[in-house]
A = this chain, B = another copy of it.
Amino acid sequence: MNPLHQLNVELGDRSYPIFIGKQLLDNSQLLTDYIKGSSVVIVTNTTVAPLYLNKVIQSLDSVKMRYDTVILEDGESFKTMSSVESIIDILLKNRHDRNTTLIALGGGVVGDIAGFAAAIYQRGVHFIQIPTTLLSQVDSSVGGKTGVNHPAGKNMIGAFHQPQCVIADTSTLDTLPERELSAGFAEVIKYGLIHDAEFFDWLEINIEQLMQRDYKLLSQAILTSCQTKADIVAIDEKESGLRAILNLGHTFGHAIESAMGYGNWLHGEAVATGMVMAADLSERHQWIDPSVKQRTIKLLTKTGLPVKSPVEMTINKYMDIMAIDKKVDRGIIKLVLLKKLGKAIISADYDPLLLQKTLLES
């Protein structure tokens, strides 16, 4: 089918479109129009391959495109340099030249790995994002952040590398497990909190139907989320300032993910709890009305997301891991905090004692 929505990420000669709608994988031309060069490597995982790999292959066959496939294990714990190297081994073994295109078919982990492989293979080849989870459709497939984890920290190795296009086929969400759908909503709700109070209101009204996977409402939520992210990325592609607000809840969340073992808490689950902690710390500074944290907890809870820090997380565990966050500057941890519903700031200007209270009591 033709896309219900199209929007563009405006980045000069690196601009690209995002297509949103159902059964987009059945539209061969949508994909093949964006393939540069004469060969393709599809990167996917063991969960997604049985569901959607054939559709992509049919599109490639329709234009007689040579392709190879790399099927990774599923999960954040495989987001490593060695997964990237396994892709590069295939690229070299089968003599894919600099004009090849990588296709990332899967969730955020697949997109981050395949995007990073595309960024560093022969100093950069084209790639296309086909996100198949809500989280990747609203967040990780947009904006060009790619990379892998290091045992000492999440996303510590990576590159900015923009795709040729993003194809967000909402039909792929039909097969998404409930828990992953919830995890995706953490990032959707984030856009309301940091940038768009009206969208937050809209989510409160429609959350039950959204969780029922109403196609039109879901497409609208994805569009609004991508538009907000695209607007922010267009202003600050390399995160020298504004873009950092997209990380609301992520500094706390990354610490949870890392300490609990990658994959035990889903990224979205950790971010959900992290956003409550950010709201808590903002409230302790009297920057926001207590109702904001309460509404956030209520909406996240309706979405089936955790809002309490796991008991294993001590203050020391948080501080140790947060100290190597990418937003640390000269030893000071910068945090994304709320000034009101719909407005976030990045700041080192918080009270460390209040931070300790948040870490202890969340």
Partner of A152, one of B81, B93, B145: B93
Knowing A88-B156, A92-B324, A150-B92, the reply to whether A124 touches B238 (Cβ < 8 A) is: yes
* Contact string against B for A residues 108-141, beta-carbon threshold 8 Å, 1 for contact and 0 otherwise: 0000000000011111100000000000000000
CB of A183 within 8 A of chain B? no
Separation of A14 and B119 alpha carbons in the complex (Å): 19
Knowing A93-B152, A152-B93, A238-B124, the reply to whether A119 touches B329 (Cβ < 8 A) is: no
* Cβ A159 vs Cβ B123 within 8 A: yes
A160 — which chain B residues lie within 8 A by C-beta? 123-124
* Cβ B124 vs Cβ A159 within 8 A: yes
* Cβ B159 vs Cβ A159 within 8 A: yes
Partner of A156, one of B38, B92, B327, B331: B92
Separation of A326 and B238 alpha carbons in the complex (Å): 27
Nearest-neighbour CB distance to chain B for A189, whole angstroms, equals 25
CB of A97 within 8 A of chain B? yes
Interface size class of A (residues with CB under 8 A): 35 or more
A253 — which chain B residues lie within 8 A by C-beta? none
CB of A107 within 8 A of chain B? no
* Cβ A156 vs Cβ B329 within 8 A: no
* Cβ A326 vs Cβ B98 within 8 A: yes
CB of A342 within 8 A of chain B? no
* Cβ A99 vs Cβ B159 within 8 A: no
Q: How often does this chain occur in the complex, in copies? A: 2
Knowing A88-B150, A150-B88, the reply to whether A121 touches B156 (Cβ < 8 A) is: yes
Nearest-neighbour CB distance to chain B for A135, whole angstroms, equals 20
Partner of A323, one of B37, B85, B95, B152: B95
Separation of A323 and B96 alpha carbons in the complex (Å): 10
CB of A153 within 8 A of chain B? yes
Partner of A120, one of B98, B120, B124, B330: B120
* Cβ A158 vs Cβ B120 within 8 A: yes
Nearest-neighbour CB distance to chain B for A321, whole angstroms, equals 11
* Contact string against B for A residues 158-171, beta-carbon threshold 8 Å, 1 for contact and 0 otherwise: 11100000000000
* Contact string against B for A residues 10-53, beta-carbon threshold 8 Å, 1 for contact and 0 otherwise: 00000000000000000000000000011000000000000000
Separation of A155 and B88 alpha carbons in the complex (Å): 12
Separation of A159 and B328 alpha carbons in the complex (Å): 25
Query: Contacts A97-B324, A98-B329 given; 17 further ones with Cβ under 8 A?
Result: A81-B81, A81-B85, A88-B157, A92-B150, A92-B153, A95-B331, A97-B329, A98-B326, A120-B120, A120-B147, A121-B157, A122-B326, A123-B147, A123-B155, A123-B158, A123-B238, A124-B159
A-B contact pairs, 30 of them (CB 8 A): A37-B330, A38-B331, A81-B85, A88-B150, A92-B150, A92-B152, A92-B156, A95-B324, A95-B328, A95-B331, A97-B329, A97-B330, A97-B331, A98-B326, A98-B327, A98-B329, A99-B330, A120-B120, A120-B147, A120-B158, A121-B156, A121-B157, A122-B156, A123-B147, A123-B155, A123-B160, A123-B238, A124-B160, A124-B238, A159-B159
